Amino acid sequence: MDKVTELAKMIDHSILHPTMTDEDLKRECEVAAKYNVASVCVKPYAVKQAVALLKGTDVLVGCVIGFPSGNSAIEVKVFETETACNDGAVEIDMVINIGKALGGDWEYVENEILAITNVCHSNGAIIKVIFETDFVTREQDIIRLCEICTKVGADYVKTSTGYGFVKQPNGDYNYKGATIPVLKLMKENIGPKVKLKAAGGVRNLDQLLEVQAAGCSRCGATATTTMLEEAKKRFA
């Protein structure tokens, strides 16, 4: 596999902004197919459309669950996951209950991740568990989440949604997303069967190469065209 193809197959092309229309979905699925990325990551209602748009390609369809804040009841997340899988999603990116993690209710968090993992695996889908590391910032909490994901058999741990906006001292809202120190911490604390996904803030080729070097198998991205066109120039 050449380097450009290798990098393309790291990318989960994100089509998640709240304002995106069906026309936007069509355009972005065409981008995903053009570059033959690993997958698209779409909103729940768009799964059927994405499956149809990407029929005949090697691009998989993934879906977010409890996105972006993770606040739905476990039963609702289970139903949402079952619906997404029935609609054709083969990858699920689930946001944990952030408040329960911050409050230290690890039994709840484990039960939630286990429930979604079981639904995914019974439907032949893989599960990526989003920690939202702009909110869950304490090392001990990130480590605990890695241990839980390893215990219940999750396929991936993932940093962020890309929508974990934190109020800054000047009053603006922003986020860091995937940082190298956090990725390394996660990589060090997952089991050998669990993979790592970066998401949020990876917008150019150098950043993509950095997260790959930190141990990521996948990376969520909207700047797919920018990164892969640069890769073509650099690695041609």
Percent of the chain's residues with pLDDT above 90 = 92
Mean pLDDT of the chain: 97
Our CA dihedral for 206, 211, 212, 218, rounded to 10 degrees, sits at: -120
Q: How many CB atoms lie within 10 A of CB 157?
A: 24
Domain boundaries along the sequence of the chain: 3-235
State yes or no: pLDDT of 103 exceeds 90.
Answer: yes
Q: State the pLDDT at residue 3.
A: 96
Cα–Cα separations (whole angstroms), residue 195 to 37, 133, 140, 181: 18, 17, 19, 16
- CB-based burial of residue 203 (10 Å sphere; 0-12 exposed, 13-18 middle, 19+ buried)? middle
Tell me the per-residue pLDDT of 152-205, one tens digit each, with 9 for 90 and over: 999 999 999 989 888 888 888 888 889 999 999 999 999 999 999 999 999 999
For the domain made up of 3-235, give the CATH fold. TIM Barrel (3.20.20)
Q: Report pTM.
A: 0.97
Catalytic residues: 93, 158, 197
Q: Which two tokens stand for residue 13?
A: 């092309």
Q: How far apart are CA 222 and CA 224, in angstroms?
A: 5
Q: State the pLDDT at residue 175.
A: 84
State yes or no: pLDDT of 236 exceeds 80.
Answer: no
